[in-house]
Structure 1
């Protein structure tokens, strides 16, 4: 089984961190391929960058040459999952939804600890659209930008723990979800100090992908996620018309 893990931003070091966690989480015999868009924002912190990244992710998928059995989209709260489900013939797993689904199997309510406070409404909207917001006790921001997560691991863990403890003590959350792909690899440290289950969306999505592919299941194509209708789309895929990697 081969799982493609797609970091929605263009920061190579974050792609490497996400790849490492996915490989660590996968079962023996599962092959992980990780990539990122050929163009787009270095980090995603708002609706503009999120929508831009969604197009860049679809562009990458439209031009990706290797075969894979499932896709893991490694952006928390990012748009584009539904479009990827239309585009691909393999099942698609978004780390936001996978983290929340797994958290609800482990406790009555869960909380998300993410990056900047401006990301909170975007994540709440994503959970609402997915039908997962009802059991979300809170979404809390650490105040750290996405790229700051890699600058000082000790500070990152400390800020996550501050918000996670508040979510447990004040919001009555029973499970914590790490709300950014850039937090990959921090689950065990946070869980050990917090004393409640902590879910990493990348690991959860890999596990769900293995289960679904193993059961021989995939996305329904009869209505909502039917393939795009054939038509002319000017300059698509975009990367084929740009200079540099993937272009002329």
Structure 2
């Protein structure tokens, strides 16, 4: 089984980190390939970045010419584009946002998301609502750390623990890592907090493996029906 993991930004180092986390979660016989958009934001932190990122990720998958793949994991937490990708490709598409939330709902009545900047919280809340798992979310709390400032594990851990306290106070019984760049942090913070912590990258990989193993694909009845071909294909703007 081959899973393609799409980074939502153009930072190669983050793609490599996400792929490491995905491979750690993958079962025997699963190959993980990372894709980095050739254009778009270097870090997706807000509405404008997110919409640009969605177009870049869609363009990357539309023009993909590598080995065939069995599933797509979208590694942008709260980012736009997952519905478009489901319409585009003929394999299961799992977004780390909803994957983490679905697994969190199996572990406790209410969950909380700890993410990067406060300005991303509303966008994540909207993404969870659209995925149908918003009602179980107790809180989405920012750490104040930018996506590209997660490289220091001690600083990130301290910021996560501080933000997690607010999520716990709001009623969260399970916590979710609200950024793919936090992958790998789940075990240490879970031990310190005494509650389950779900990593979206690992959750998405496992759900993708399950969907492929069960022979399930995106429904083409209605919402994700294939679009009518157009005479002119779109292209990203020239730089």
Which TM class, normalised by the smaller chain length?
over 0.9
Unaligned runs of at least 5 residues, structure 1: 244-248
Within 5 Å, give how 1:128-167 maps onto structure 2. 128-150=129-151, 152-167=152-167
Corresponding position of 1:174: 173
Corresponding position of 2:14: 14
Rounded Cα–Cα distance in structure 2 between residues aligned with 1:216 and 1:101 = 20
Corresponding position of 1:75: 76
With normalisation by structure 1, the TM-score equals: 0.93
User: Matched residue pairs, number?
Assistant: 238
Rounded Cα–Cα distance in structure 2 between residues aligned with 1:196 and 1:166 = 14
> How far apart are 1:65 and its partner, in Å?
1.1
> How far apart are 1:94 and its partner, in Å?
0.4
Corresponding position of 2:47: 47
> How far apart are 1:188 and its partner, in Å?
1.0
Q: Is residue 2:96 matched to residue 1:89?
A: no
> How far apart are 1:232 and its partner, in Å?
2.6
Corresponding position of 1:246: none
Moved over 2 A (4+): none
Rounded Cα–Cα distance in structure 2 between residues aligned with 1:214 and 1:48 = 36
Query: For residues 36-64 of structure 1, what are the alpha-carbon distances to aligned partners after superposition, in whole Å with 9 as ceiling and x for unaligned?
Result: 10111100111001000000000000011
- Which secondary structure does the structure 2 equivalent of 1:134 belong to? helix
Query: For residues 91-149 of structure 1, what are the alpha-carbon distances to aligned partners after superposition, in whole Å with 9 as ceiling and x for unaligned?
Result: 10000000000000010000000000000000001111111110100000000111011
Corresponding position of 2:232: 233
Corresponding position of 1:194: 193
- Which secondary structure does the structure 2 equivalent of 1:118 belong to? helix
> How far apart are 1:242 and its partner, in Å?
5.3
Within 5 Å, give how 1:101-140 maps onto structure 2. 101-140=102-141
- Which secondary structure does the structure 1 equivalent of 2:198 belong to? strand
Rounded Cα–Cα distance in structure 2 between residues aligned with 1:160 and 1:229 = 45
Q: Is residue 2:193 matched to residue 1:206?
A: no
What is the root-mean-square deviation in Å for CA atoms of aligned residues? Answer: 1.2
Q: Is residue 2:56 matched to residue 1:56?
A: yes
Larger CA deviation: 206-215 vs 188-197: 188-197
- Which secondary structure does the structure 1 equivalent of 2:145 belong to? coil
Rounded Cα–Cα distance in structure 1 between residues aligned with 2:50 and 2:69 = 24
Q: Is residue 2:34 matched to residue 1:31?
A: no
With normalisation by structure 2, the TM-score equals: 0.97
